[in-house]
Structure 1
């Protein structure tokens, strides 16, 4: 991805994120203490277990479950949600949005990380409650419209359950230009590998005049069913490595992930690790690259 494009998107995001909220509440009541989530949720928790919402930074809030991340970014012209969780988890997400004092009907766009049921299985339910446009890559959009794992997905043979198809509008993202949703700029990074349509997103949130670049990095985990070999798909491996490199090179102050444990969420909320860490994306990418190398080496050895 062009550094010029990414930086332009982040500059636009900073302008929007630091603008005062007009007509929409930043929160109708006190924001729950983030440590309450850490107290309610374990490191590797159930995907549908409710956990209290909390402010991550500025106008970015965690509204997901204990085991699956969903994020709400609030703005002067409405809100943007990222991921839905499972079908059951979507009810938790909607309840958490309301608990923060926001109206789900003010959500204008729903972005996705990757097209597996644990992250988008509740997308139809979310869209019905919000009326928002779903934003996804073409490969991910195909899955959303059918509710079934793509045949070429590395985990296609793992028995992923089908989910309710998305019948409302889907806006397809085909490149890495910054996009504006609800008056706020978000920059997509194509990070296929875990799935074909996987996408990471970056934006800026500000608090007390200090803006931080938040990067929601997709799973980047080379796992599959028992028959799939990444080494038989060199184009996907090449795209996988390119996506990992984009994440490593991206401006990044706060790294988040679809599974909160992948970004050490509990440790960071409890102060054992810093929330703001400019090296976070590089470390996340290095771990992903090491996993991919190990997987390919195992396949090369006949594993």
Structure 2
């Protein structure tokens, strides 16, 4: 799948492929191929080092971007999935269980967008229902009970917003997750690997460490929805994305994200193994840093962290 702003790259790639099929031993065509390859490299760097916020949103949504399953399979040893919320049922839009990452015993949880049409439909494209977030809450409490760090991989357009979700208490389920994370006496490590949409993402982002892949985003609302509400025009989504400051760089500057994890040029979908490995290195480092921290100090530091977010001064009055 090629995004609209990548069309110049596609045209060069197609031209190079055509010339390779015709070139044979022709020195003239070989020289032209070399020239076009240089132009292709320049186009890639020019486009992908000057992405707009909305272009990064588009990359974060790319269907070939590595999802929870790719990270689970590559980074987690002995993953044992735990299902169900003990009230209604199981929701495969969000998965979790016991695992070992880089030698650390953890509870691993993540949104699962699926890998093909069938699994994407079954998982509601990563948009969890209340039973999904109640399952998450159960795993948060399990981690606290057994002293296991929480590793949370965020990739969702948002929690499912249908009538059935409201009837089954979607807002209450997400708020309970936030309360649980606020007081859980174990390290909480969250990484936004793609989309970080609305309360569906927030329920897994109240953490001691928040990492964001370079082309991920975190926002209370999708740019298209924001444009529809503010401008009454969904086609102004790019304008909304720029104003909302939702990219990894923006969130890092605001003190919400702790680290921007680099992606391969063009996005994580171009070299999935490299992107997964980069996240794995960050998880290993952060889990080692947080290991052995006093639980009370951990919770106190987490509270202080979120009280600082959004603090500002007016008329020379220092923030509380």
TM-score, normalised to structure 1, is: 0.31
Structure number with the bigger relative contact order (C-alpha 8 A, sep ≥ 6) is: 1
- Name the larger-Rg structure: 2
**Greater per-residue helix proportion:** 2
TM-score, normalised to structure 2, is: 0.30
